[in-house]
Amino acid sequence: MNDTATEWSLRHPRLDDFRFRIHHVVLVAFLPLLLDYAWMLYMRWRMPPGPCPWPIVGNTFSLPDVKPWYHFERLSKEYKSPVITFWIGRNPTVWINDAWAANELLVKRAGVYCSRPRMLVFAELGAGQSNLLNMYTITPAQRDRFRIQRKLTHQGIGVQQVIRYRNFQNDESKVVAYDLLTTPEEYVEHFERYATSVVSIIGFGRRVASNKDPIITEVIALMHRAASLNVPGKTFPMLMETFPWLAKFPNWMAPWKHGLGSTRKSKHTNHDFFYSLAAEANASDRANYSKFLFQETPKYNVQPLEISALSANLLGAGSDTSSSTLITAVLAMRAFPDALRPAWQELDRVVGKSRSPAFDDDLPYMRALVKEVFRWRSVAIIGGMPHAPVADDYWNGYLIPKGCWTQGNVWAIHHNERDFPDPDRFNPRRYFDTDDARPFPGEKGYMTFGWGRRSCAGQYLAEQGTYLSVARLVWGFRVGPAVDKATGEEIPVDIFDYTDGLNWRPRPFRVLFKPRDEEIRRTIVREGEQALRDLAEFDGESKYRFSTFFE
Ligand code: HEM
């Protein structure tokens, strides 16, 4: 201190003391922040590369407004690493942008990456932590419960079980072809009805005969909205992942929660909506998955919330995904007619016109075409849900800490020029021994259904249904350009114009469906009418409506 300052502080000792205290308070207030930031930088140094996070907010505000999967793909190229770290608030998240790294971590080390991370919006405020989709598998007790839920799901829709569903799944797909003859402009609604009806017959023993059924207009619409909100982003509700304390506010004073986590009571029962649907199905004479869950209750001590979630998952995970995949197939059929020609030759040779394709027909090109549908624009574009390691793990010397949000960027994985040359081209030849084929980890040739122990439990049902439906569409129809009535011009389609949700689908586009041939048209009518007669055994109504269920 110089002389003047010493003199001044001797004359004003109180003020000096005040200044000292202020410094102290500032230091005490900022010290945790500094330490926390030092921890973030230390973790950044140890974890896979990625942009430098800011204190508290991490990289959240560098996220694009929509479709962050493009951003993660760019970052992966920028940092020259297939695995990158991106900070959502104070949480490091790891993004895998390459099939080989995904295979190395999520498949070969499936026993490590079998848990889910903390998901505030989707799990804690949304579908619930005890829902199979969100379950932790860190402790032995959690793992036991997970195994039971997974087993119960397999007993409903596992690889053996879905063979039993093939007939009605095929019939529902015949009804779609039939409906396309009369109301082709409503093709999206037909696919939604088909997909919802299949899982409703399995889950509740009741078909969904119309796309005005409240299961579609209320329940699926709600689930669709939830999936569209669940994309890492810098707006609410996902911004709560960055500022978790905002979730603690009660709903009435927290509009940012979008109603998530509400505890509305039913006016009918003490149970929730899906439990009520399941109980209603249990009381019916028809075999269905809900009935099976009630039967297994004593053996596995299945709780009401579990019955509710396991049956709801069929609708939540199985409807939107399956219908969106069929919309993508139509877009591909419209945009890449050349890819269909070998399919038509094969179909005409093997199947003919007097019947539509059956599951067991030997149609290798069609199998490849359906694989390409799954790859080209995979519906679960960021692999559905994140995984989390149950212990600290290392990739190429980088740390991936226990519990870390670890997500496969399916967009980047299926869009890698090395594995899929000219990746935006719809090209079934990739799956044959041709110049366009490249090595890919695993037998399937795509990673559309996730990985390891958390891979999609409905995969076999979805693959079976998509195959039956796409094969029938290609066999039955030419998908040509719609014509603008006012201008007489053909309406183009944009193969990049997709929605922004976690499960994306093409934005509405217009096409013209034309039966390929008069005999084929007659076959579609005959088979459609027969299918409706055969499906009549599943007709029925639920007494519950989601919109009027709560007080
Ligand atoms: C084209 C259709 C479908 C696609 C692309 C799809 C995709 C996915 C993906 C990517 C996951 C996350 C996997 C992971 O975390 O590694 C998943 C999970 C799941 N899916 Fe599907 N899915 C489809 C249809 C279905 C159907 C039809 C059902 C049931 C009827 C279903 C039930 C489930 C369940 C229960 C899980 C959670 C598994 C767990 O966390 O253990 N999915 N699905």
72 with 26, same domain?
no
pLDDT digits (tens, 9 = 90+) for 449-468: 999 999 999 999 999 999 99
> Both 31 and 94 in a single domain?
no
Determine contact, residues 392/401, Cβ cutoff 8 Å.
yes
Give tens-digit pLDDT for 92-109.
999 999 999 999 999 999
Q: Are residues 299 and 445 in the same domain?
A: yes
Is the N-terminal amide bond of 237 cis, ω within 30° of 0? yes
pLDDT of residue 10: 63
- pLDDT value for 7: 66
53 falls within a domain: no
User: Does 15 share its domain with 101?
Assistant: no
Ligand 1 nearest-atom number relative to CA 319: 27
For residues 42 and 183, state if they share a domain: no
Residues making up the annotated binding site for heme are 456
* Ligand 1 pocket check for 315: Cβ under 6 Å: no
Per the domain annotation, does 54 fall within a domain?
no
Check whether residue 96 and residue 9 sit in a common domain: no
* Atom number in ligand 1 closest to CA 106: 16
**Reported ipTM:** 0.99
Residues 269 and 252: their CA atoms lie apart, in Å, by: 24
Q: Which among 456, 461, 469, 505 is the best mutation to test ligand 1's pocket, defined by most ligand atoms within 8 Å of the CB?
A: 456
Dihedral over alpha carbons 467, 473, 478, 479 (to 10 degrees):
-80
Q: Write down the pTM of the prediction.
A: 0.95
The tally of domains found in the chain comes to 2
Instruction: Quick: pLDDT tens for 381-406.
Output: 999 999 999 999 999 999 999 999 99
| Ligand 1 close to Cβ of residue 71 (< 6 A) | no
Q: Which residues form the domain of 480?
A: 59-549
On whether both 39 and 63 belong to a single domain, the answer is: no
Ligand 1 atom with minimal separation from the 454 CA: 41
pLDDT at 68: 98
Cβ of residue 310 lying under 6 Å from some atom of ligand 1: no
Q: Is any ligand 1 atom within 6 A of the Cβ of residue 119?
A: no
Same domain, 27 and 166: no
Residues in Cβ contact with 429 at an 8 Å cutoff, skipping those fewer than 6 apart: 368, 436, 437
Q: Closest Cα partner for 420 from 410, 432, 430? A: 430
Residue 194 is assigned to a structural domain of this protein:
yes
Q: pLDDT at position 549, please?
A: 83
In the chain, count H helices and then E strands: 19, 7
- Tokens representing 344 are 């038509």
| Ranges in the chain, pLDDT < 70 | 1-13, 15, 267-268, 551
- In this structure, are 356 and 495 located in the same domain? yes
Judge if 21 and 148 occupy the same domain: no
Angstrom CA distances, 409 to 95, 130, 329, 440, stand at 6, 25, 21, 16
Please indicate, yes or no, whether residues 443 and 464 belong to a single structural domain of this protein.
yes
Within a domain: residue 52? no
Percentage of the chain lying above the pLDDT 70 cut: 96
In degrees and rounded to multiples of 5, residue 53 shows phi and psi of -80, 155
Contacts of 70 (CB under 8 A, 6+ apart): 64, 411
CATH number at residue 204: 1.10.630.10
Report which of 498, 500, 482, 502 is spatially closest to residue 187, judged by C-alpha positions.
Answer: 482
